[in-house]
Structure 1
Amino acid sequence: MAVQSLDFHLPVELNASHPPEKRGLRRDHVRMMVLDRTTGEVRHDRFNHLPNYLQSGDLVILNNSRTIPAVLKGTWIRNSTELAAQIEVRLARRRTEDTWDALLIANSVNIGDNIQFSSELSATVVANKEHSPLKTIQFSKKGTDLFHDIYFLGEPIRYEYINEPWALDCYQTVFGSHPGSVEMPSAGRAFSWELLFALMQGGVQIDYIQLHTGLSYLLDDEYESTPEDQPEEYYISERTMQRILETKASGKRIVAVGTTVVRALETVAHNNVLSGTTNLYINHHTPLKIVDGMITGLHEPKASHLEMLTAFVSEQHLRCAYNEAITSRYLWHEFGDMNLII
């Protein structure tokens, strides 16, 4: 369950509707709220000053999953009869080379129904997801051929606070290299190559893992989704894991960029498996075994991500910091400002 006591009023004007670059900012010049894990002290800075808060030998772990255009539109067909000229399909999670869980935005979609996306690509509804609005669909193509069509036909997932259909490039990190996330692993968006090089010049280590993010909002307020309901695919190389263990042994800090990285690393700490799927739900009862600090965005009221943050900092300190972020007019969501918890 989300942290109910961390419900708060977020003024609509604090929802970032434009990428920083469209607001006249470099991506690494967004604001950064620095929150001390122990004292709850808050400082205000710019994200390009991140090297001032890290030490030589610290290891920053980023998620190199790349965002795919996960919204497809097609014709809804049942028994050769067209039911709707256009239906929106939001991909949620890849299951096999040709099968995805997806949100079909239409009423009464049945197993066996067909969605025709183009003359060359279609999908059939093959299963309902128990206790979920999601369906499982099987495409007429698989693997690389399927991804080519998804990229040709699809568009990025866009929520109501985004006013314009920004290009897919706006939803990418500069280092994203492995396509698979249906929503951008947004905590890494503020990094530029210049900032990464500045960190390395200061002795900070940089490494990467993969976790392909799933669909976070299923457009059904009656269905309360948690990370336990959303298994996500992750991969951590043996070399990266060895580097993490060596850094820990040397007394330096592991700083995770985003809730996705925290989830992947702490999953490995729990099960000692470097690749697979995870539905680990982290909250204030979860002892963090690997991660010492994190870089994240600002999360909406009652979001499950807020509960993960209470594994790093007390709920009282978090509540005070978020109140200060609102008072200081920080911007929320994937195009917004950043929060360093360390």
Structure 2
Amino acid sequence: MKTTDFYFDLPQYLIAQTPLEDRTSSRLMVINKKNGEIEHERFFNIINYLNEGDCLVLNDTRVIPARLFGEKQDTGGKVELLLLNRFDKTRWEVLVKPGKKAREGDIIIFGNGILSGKIETIIDDGKRIINFEYDGIWEEILDKLGEMPLPPYIYEKLENKERYQTVYSKYSGSAAAPTAGLHFTEKLLEKIKEKGVKIAYVTLHVGLGTFRPVKVEDITMHKMHSEFYIMTQDNADIINNTKNSGGRIISVGTTSARTIECCADKNGYVVAGEGWTDIFIYPGYRFKCADGIITNFHLPESTLIMLVSAFCTKEITLNAYKTAIENEYRFFSFGDAMLII
């Protein structure tokens, strides 16, 4: 299967640059995963497609202001860092731009000296390990100096940082938001709970792979990025009890889907634990746990559209995208949503 099999032509004006004032007012495309039938809805009506006894699985990761702008101590050259993975209190794996000018031993200064970092090791693909020095509380310094790592296709400035967070975000660690969850408000979640729908939480810290395109022609040769996940016993019990009682497991976002699938045994029951996952889901994969997915409209030739295609076939997925373009749905992080059941 080729990467180009997942290409579609998207007009630039359909890429959403800013979030809607009301999170729940986005459009919602509802797709029957068996026959591909499509309904056009608004997200606030998603409750009509959820049944008592179902379970929504939400990713409660929280995006950190992971983009830092500094300058090299020796030359004053401008440097941009994207924080990826934290190894300990001061050491991080980072993506550096421009990478060629960031060499081992270089010291980078941020915020007129509030923060500095020394490049310890060069890894690959522009990544480095950097050791930071600072006085005070890391989270406060990062909140003061860092910016939200919005995807490269968003050019508008985000006025309110919280709009790139889900309302249920809790555990900091992501370099990008689990965007399917951006459509929910606390009020809508309460209505969903009142209907008898259970809520389970997983944590998957979204990393570099969100920004990385598939560069190989044969998708089976693509190396998926690793991301840290947590599945607690309490939440595993909620998911497994839902399965036992005949309810549907509906993942909110591809990150939640990847987490429950990597935790699932051959019978579809999830096992509590934490660690790193590089699960790559593409057509041919048989889902063990997820019965439905809520997701946004993704980039062409991305691992995300491949996951969706695995869930409801490539033909149904690409037809849905064609329909979305014809009906001028808004695409990507701040765009509209689809429910596949």
Would you call these one fold, judging by a TM-score over 0.5?
A: yes
Q: 2:226 aligns with which of 221, 225, 231?
A: 231
Provide the secondary structure at the position in 1 that maps to 2:199: strand
User: Partner of 2:208: helix, strand, or coil?
Assistant: coil
- Structure 1 residue 108: Cα displacement: 2.9
Alignment CA distance shift 1:227-1:186 (3 Å): farther
Matched residue, 1:114: 107
Find the counterpart in structure 1 of residue 203 from structure 2. Answer: 210
TM-fit CA distance, 1:116: 1.2
The answer to whether residue 158 in structure 2 is matched with residue 163 in structure 1 is no
Unpaired runs of 5+ in structure 1?
none
Which runs of structure 2 are paired with 1:1-342 in the superposition (5 Å)?
Answer: 3-21=3-21, 26-77=22-73, 81-84=74-77, 86-106=78-98, 107-118=100-111, 119-130=113-124, 132-141=125-134, 145-166=137-158, 167-216=160-209, 228-269=223-264, 272=271, 274-342=273-341
Say if 1:74 and 1:88, in contact at 8 Å, map to a contact too: yes
Could you tell me whether the CA contact under 8 Å between 1:227 and 1:279 is conserved in 2?
no
Give the deviation of 1:193 after TM superposition: 1.0
Pair 1:214–1:324, CA change in 2 (3 A): same
Asked if 2 retains the 8 angstrom alpha-carbon contact of 1:227 and 1:280, the reply is: no
Percent identity, please.
Answer: 33
**CA RMSD of superposed structures (Å):** 2.3
Q: Structure 1, residues 99-157: CA drift from partner, whole Å, max 9, x if none? A: 22211111331111111113232111122224x22112122259x92222111100111
CA contact under 8 A between 1:228 and 1:280: conserved in structure 2?
Answer: no
C-alpha contact 1:2 1:302 (8 A) present in aligned 2: no
CA distance in 1, matches of 2:191, 2:300: 34
Pair 16,220 (structure 1): closer, same or farther in 2 beyond 3 Å: closer
Give the Cα separation in 1 of the matches to 2:255 and 2:134. 29
- Give the Cα–Cα distance (whole angstroms) in 2 for the partners of residues 335 and 220 of structure 1: 19
Structure 1 CA distance for aligned equivalents of residues 92 and 44 of structure 2: 38
The one-character-per-residue Cα deviations of 1:149-202 (angstroms, maximum 9, x if unpaired) are: 111100111344323221321211111111111111111000011110111111
Letter in 1 for 2:35: T
Q: CA deviation at 1:76?
A: 1.2
Name the TM-score, length of structure 1 as normaliser. Answer: 0.90
Contact residue 16 and residue 161 of structure 1 kept, 8 A: no
Q: Distance between the aligned counterparts of 1:316 and 1:220, measured in 2?
A: 21
Would you say how many aligned residue pairs link Structure 1 and Structure 2? 332
- Counterpart CA distance in 2 for 1:121 and 1:290 is 44
Residue identity matched to 2:145? L
Instruction: Out of 329-338 and 302-311, give the one that drifted further.
Output: 302-311
Q: Distance in 1 between matches of 2:2 and 2:37?
A: 24
1:4 offset after TM fit, Å? Answer: 2.2
| Residue type at the aligned position of 1:203 | G
Q: Which letter does structure 1 place at the counterpart of 2:107?
A: N
| 1:55–1:219 CA distance, 2 compared to 1 (3 A) | closer
One-letter amino acid matched to 1:12? Q
| Distance change in 2, residues 1:277/1:221 (3 Å) | closer
Asked if structure 1 preserves the Cα contact closer than 8 Å seen for 2:72 and 2:108, the reply is yes
Residue 83 of structure 1: CA displacement?
4.5
User: Which is worse superposed, 34-43 or 211-220?
Assistant: 211-220
With the length of structure 2 as denominator, give the TM-score of the two structures.
Answer: 0.91
Letter in 2 for 1:312: F
For 1:56 and 1:220, how far apart are their aligned partners in 2?
39
| Aligned-partner Cα distance in 1 for 2:170–2:320 | 33
Whole-angstrom distance in 1 between the partners of 2:212 and 2:264: 33
Moved more, 105-114 or 154-163: 154-163
With over 3 angstroms needed to count, the CA separation of the structure-2 counterparts of 1:217 and 1:202, relative to structure 1, is closer
